[in-house]
Amino acid sequence: MRVLGINAIFHDPAAALVVNGQVVAAAEEERFSRRKHGKRPVPFSAWELPELAAAWCLAEAGVDVDALDAVAYSFDPGLCRDAAALDLADPWDWLRVEYAQRAPQFLAAALPGLDPGKVRFVPHHVAHAASAGLAAPTAGDDTAVLVLDGRGEVASHLAGVYRDGRLSSLHSQELPHSLGLLYEDLTRHLGFQHSSDEYKVMALASYGEPRHLGALRELIRATDDGGFRVERIDWASLAKAVAAGGELTEEHADLAASVQTRLEEVLLDLSRWLHDASGGARTLALAGGVALNCVANARLAAEGPYQRVWVQPAAGDAGTALGAALHVAGELGDRATPMAGADLGRGWSDEELEAELRRAALPYSRPDSIAAEAARVLADNGIVAWYQGRAEYGPRALGHRSLLAHPGDPDTTRRMNDVKGREQFRPIAPMVRAERFAEIFDGVYPSPYMLFVHRVRPHWRDRIPAVTHVDGTARVQTVHTETEPLVAELLAEFERRTGLPVVVNTSLNTAGRPMVDTPREALELFGSAPVDLLALGPFAVHRGSLGGARPAALGEARPATPGGTR
């Protein structure tokens, strides 16, 4: 069966193609349209479809539109109720529902040749659940699934269990109670963009003390039926509102820390309830926007009752394209194959990459090993734009569209945040050779999708200061030779030169822009940011060969630059 999954309703529009139960292509529209998150999550944009991503998925797999068995749309307008009845302050919500009802016609217009009768609506949280429970590597066992979201049709959460590829839903919490919307409200109150910048609030929380925990325990609490209550919170009484781009102070960090801690406590309660209700499932799979909270995920893994916690790498709404397609494929009789990696997006052949370099008239070389070449530049404290293979599905760069740097230089964080033009309180994360993980870090293993924070062992903190956060943690990606041989080679070569099996990895983009997707975008970033080496597939373009300044070696004095925090 060939099933195209579509997420379009709120934000992060995306498409995924599942053939015979296996995902063969998945991509977010933002990587094509170059508009971060694809669109704003307002009712007026609900008709917009991931047209470019959907067309690419079909072309990538060589599947004609009329050969599709179904199109799975990750929202079911038939479940919707009046927004006022759900106590949602959204007077235009009905418009979203109207657009969703017409999605088959919109899709037929976007994909000429599509029979609108092939479009199936999948409940939003069933789509999230499938993206976790059917894509997780333990799909053969009973898998408890927790969807932690802002909102779907009428709910914000789903607790269930997958047995033999089928979902049994055990509880779902109705709106307006929503842990995702709670976090979005706080994000807005702190002057950030909601449905986008929640991870900045999580980062800010690590600088604060949870002074308001007592009050929040009254306002946010799990119920004994597997759900929860979130009462209205007077944010201004806890910390004054911040204008966009305004100054953040200790009181804001304390508020972020309080909400973050309470969120973790409630998630633990929910996970324990689900463990009992599922009959003691050993694996918990997570999806939904809240599941991108890697601090909470780590706490669930450490203190929850499960042997293993797995998080869908595209846990936000983009992942519902994949989940909806897997769900419908299951309905049509296909058994889902667990996903092998997040590298499901666009890729280019060596010939295509070389043609781009020729077109740009750049001096380039083809070293014997691009991994060794990049490791050499990194060991000299250079910054590397690392563009390899197919693009990642989901918000994390995992060694395919990455910016890499030396973890041993305390100044790396400032340099990387300057390259990207983003806030200085934002931490940067390490990738580590899987074989050396346990010696350096403590926490969830394996962690190939960078969705948990880990503790850096004390004697390593001074050796890798760039990736050790103020609270002694790091958000680790473990790199395994079997799945990521080229990145593993780079790490091994870097270790040979420096003794450190760790490299700084952050996404290949500049602030406010989607991740680089095409080789041309990689060249544009290289041309506009102080990156020392562009590793474009097997090809190397050195800044030095363009007549630019060389990076300062580790320990060498470098001119002071303004720190610039916000």
Beta strands 283-287 and 429-433 are unpaired
Nearest distance in Å: CB 225, Fe ion: 22
Site for Fe ion in 284-323 (CB under 5 A): 317
What track of x and - describes contact with Fe ion for positions 43 through 72 (by CB under 5 A)?
------------------------------
Query: Environment class of residue 565 by beta-carbon count within 10 Å: exposed (0-12), middle (13-18) or buried (19+)?
Result: exposed
Please, which residue, 253 or 290, has the CB nearer to Fe ion? 290
How many chain residues interact with Fe ion (CB under 5 A)?
Answer: 2
Say if CB 441 and CB 476 are below 8 A apart: yes
Query: Environment class of residue 480 by beta-carbon count within 10 Å: exposed (0-12), middle (13-18) or buried (19+)?
Result: middle
Q: Is 184 in the site for Fe ion (CB under 5 A)?
A: no
Among residues 11, 37, 128, 157, the one annotated as catalytic is 11
Please, which residue, 322 or 405, has the CB nearer to Fe ion? 322
Please, which residue, 317 or 392, has the CB nearer to Fe ion? 317
Please, which residue, 149 or 484, has the CB nearer to Fe ion? 149
Please, which residue, 8 or 456, has the CB nearer to Fe ion? 8
Please, which residue, 145 or 385, has the CB nearer to Fe ion? 145
Phi, psi of 12 (to 5 degrees): 50, 50
Say if CB 444 and CB 433 are below 8 A apart: no
Q: Is 493 in the site for Fe ion (CB under 5 A)?
A: no
Binding window for Fe ion (CB under 5 A); candidates: 144-152, 270-278, 303-311, 369-377: 144-152
Binding window for Fe ion (CB under 5 A); candidates: 76-84, 93-101, 143-151, 448-456: 143-151
Q: Is 149 in the site for Fe ion (CB under 5 A)?
A: yes
Nearest distance in Å: CB 29, Fe ion: 16
Binding window for Fe ion (CB under 5 A); candidates: 37-45, 147-155, 198-206, 331-339: 147-155
Nearest distance in Å: CB 316, Fe ion: 7
CA-based nearest residue to 287, from 160, 472, 148: 148
HSE (side-chain half, CA atoms, 13 Å) at 350 = 6
Kindly give the residue spans of alpha helices, DSSP state H, lying in 83-235. 93-101, 103-110, 124-133, 179-189, 198-205, 213-219
11 annotated active-site: yes
Phi, psi of 30 (to 5 degrees): -60, -30
What gap in Å lies between CA 485 and CA 365, rounded to an integer? Answer: 22
What gap in Å lies between CA 323 and CA 130, rounded to an integer? Answer: 5
SS3 133: helix
Nearest distance in Å: CB 288, Fe ion: 6
Nearest distance in Å: CB 78, Fe ion: 17
Say if CB 5 and CB 53 are below 8 A apart: no
Residue of this chain nearest to Fe ion (CB atom):
149
Nearest distance in Å: CB 25, Fe ion: 21
Q: Which residues are catalytic?
A: 11
Interface contacts to Fe ion, rule CB under 5 A:
149, 317
